[in-house]
Amino acid sequence: MSKNEFALPDVGEGLTEAEIVTWAVKPGDTVHLNQVICEIETAKSLVEIPSPFEGEIAELLVETGTTVPVGTAILRMVGDDTDPAPAPAPVTAAADAGAPATAAAESAEAAPAEASNDDENSGAVLVGYGTGGAVKSRRRPGGQPLVVLGKAETAEPPVAGKVYVKPPVRKLAKDLGVDLTRVAGSGAGGEILRDDVHAAASGASTGGAVAGGRGAGELRAAVTSSFGSGGAREERVPVKGIRKVVAAAMVESKFTAPHTSVFLEVDATRTMKFVKRLKQNEAFADVRVSPLLVMARAVIWALARNPEVNSAWAGDEIIRRNYVNLGIAAATPRGLVVPNIKDAHELSLVELAEAIGTLTKRARDGVTQPAEMQQGTVTITNVGVFGVDFGLPILNPGETAIVAMGSIKEKPWVVKGKVRPRMVTTVGGSFDHRVIDGDVISRFVADIAAVLERPELLLS
């Protein structure tokens, strides 16, 4: 590889290959040190790649949507003497107390007054590359660079006819088959938001049907449109990225750890009333409150009473964790991810609500970093949000328990000898029978149910 070519780097997570999702530059652009040049999708997350040099782009060597091995030349600069500055050992996403590299960059950009006195060598450090000069922000508030038809946004004002969209939203549009040039953005300056993409996808799939119901003919047309007509009867989708990793992890977990499952129906009427009271509490005014918050606190409370559950099988020994890194399974356009809240047992109820909100938003926006998905101790999956009564999940590798909560519905329930309508759900999960036995599992699930039935226990 010549001096003026830039190879796909290992971003510090043992990367072997990655897909180029979005180019933020194009031939002819002049790039500066640490300027984001592209976004890649690794097996675990979306990662922005900064430039380790300055100069003019001559050629993009890899098209978007292409997966290439680490070390492959992806970009060429103008001139024969361009020599990328040597990079130090890659900084993992777990560095700096687990803060994502992109977040560190945003902090550096937001607080220039706190930079080093050596201004010429100061600047944001991204994905392990050194710094060498002040870095001008190319971001809007919110942390993600906007892409204008494949080009990173500059400081110029919005221009009519251009499409402003963040990389995760562009990836969502690609996955849903939405043509962004036909989508009207509802965000500031015409920026296309996730809701705009979902609305466009929904409109395309329903054939523009109006709300309030469709006739048999419209339904047939929608079905025909969904399955296609006149095209190929089958298509093959490559298994890569996070889908490939999830598949391997689930197979390993399912056929390595002996799963055992228990579940219990619970009267969650008081939980629903408790959630309603929290929403009216000023302390929770700026955070989202849902039954998942009560469930999360219930799991932490039950772990304190049954510490054996907060363990991991390690062959000839069992590792007992004296901390709780609470994983929340999140369905995203990229697939299933399980980021976790570090030291969740130390958080107040308000802090836990804030952490859940941040975690789920980052997952939904596709910016969850590898460090956020590592070192989990127990996982919660809320299948109820999909209207499902219950499901038996597969353990997250390295953990002994995954707890599931089904939908909360009004059902007939016997209260003091009389049948009354109550808000009922099902809780339970899957457990590694190598680590814990049925009595511990049953007590653990019963303790979670007790909190959902009497959430005042959270205050004890």
Is the pTM higher than 0.75?
A: no
SS3 235: coil
Q: What per-residue confidence (pLDDT) applies to 216?
A: 59
Q: Inter-axis angle of helices 167-176 and 194-206, to 10 degrees?
A: 10
Q: What per-residue confidence (pLDDT) applies to 17?
A: 83
Q: For the domain made up of 242-459, give the CATH fold.
A: Chloramphenicol Acetyltransferase (3.30.559)
Q: What per-residue confidence (pLDDT) applies to 168?
A: 67
What's 118's DSSP letter?
-
**433 labelled catalytic:** yes
Tens of pLDDT along 249-259? 888 888 888 99
Confirm if 198 and 180 have CB atoms less than 8 A apart.
no
Domain boundaries, the chain: 5-195, 242-459
Residues of the chain with confidence (pLDDT) below 50: 81-154, 156, 204-213
The DSSP line for 238-267 is ---HHHHHHHHHHHHHHTTS-EEEEEEEEE
Q: Backbone phi, then psi, for 204, in 5-degree steps?
A: -70, -40
- The yes-or-no answer to whether 5-195 and 242-459 have a common fold is no
Which helix (H) or strand (E) segment is 432 a member of?
Answer: strand 418-432
Which residue of the set 32, 198, 345, 433 is catalytic?
A: 433
Q: For the domain made up of 5-195, give the CATH fold.
A: OB fold (Dihydrolipoamide Acetyltransferase, E2P) (2.40.50)
Write the CB contacts of 395 (distance below 8 Å, at least 6 apart in sequence). Answer: 253, 257, 259, 379, 401, 402, 430, 431, 432
SS3 73: strand
Confirm if 270 and 453 have CB atoms less than 8 A apart.
yes
